[in-house]
Structure 1
Amino acid sequence: MGFSYDKLWKKLIDEKMNKLDLQKAINTTPHTIAKMGRDENVSMEILGRICRYFKCDISEVLEYIIENTND
C-alpha cells in the first residue's frame, strides 16, 4: 500500500482544523494537500513543516503500511 496520512487527518480533527487551515499553517499549495489526500508522496520539507507546526514526531502524522503480498 505505501504511506498513509490517516494519522494526520485524525490530528486535524482533534485540533479542530480542516485541510485549508493546514495548507495555510504550513504555507503549501492545494496540490500538495490533495496529494496527501490520495496518500501520495510529498517532500520531506512538507513533512518537516507539518511536524514543526504540530511539534510532533513524523510517526504521529504518517505511517507506512506494508503490502501483504503472497509471493
Structure 2
Amino acid sequence: MVISYNYNKFWKLLIARKISKTDLRRTTGILPNIMTRPNRDEEVTLETLGQICAVLGVSIGDLVDLTFCEPSNSKSWCSTVERY
C-alpha cells in the first residue's frame, strides 16, 4: 500500500489567516527543514502536526489529506484510491 500526503488545505489556511510559513515556524518552534516537508507533500510527524494544530486551533484533518492506494503490477500509478 502506498500513502501519499497532500497539504493544500494547510497552505490555504495559512493564506486565509495571513500567516507566513516563517511566522508559523517561529511560533511553533519547528525547524526550517521540517517546514519544507509539506512543500514536497512528504510525511510530517504527528508531533509536528499537533504543534501546528495547537497554534492554529484546528485538527489534523484541516491540514492534510491522505490518499491510500494499491500500486498496479504493470503500471506506475495506483489502481485503487481511497482518500481521507
* TM tier, smaller: 0.7 to 0.9
Report which stretch shifted further, 17-26 or 59-68: 59-68
Stretches of structure 1 lacking an aligned partner (at least 5 in a row): none
Total equivalences in the alignment: 71
Query: Residue 40 of structure 1 aligns with which residue?
Result: 42
Quick check: 1:19 aligned with 2:24?
A: no
- Return structure 1 stretches of 4+ with deviation > 6 angstroms: none
More relative contact order, 1 or 2 (CA 8 Å, 6+ apart):
1
Amino-acid identity (%)? 30
Stretches of structure 2 lacking an aligned partner (at least 5 in a row): 70-76
- Normalising to structure 1: TM-score of the pair? 0.86
Which structure carries more strand by proportion? 2
- Normalising to structure 2: TM-score of the pair? 0.74
Give the superposed CA RMSD: 1.8
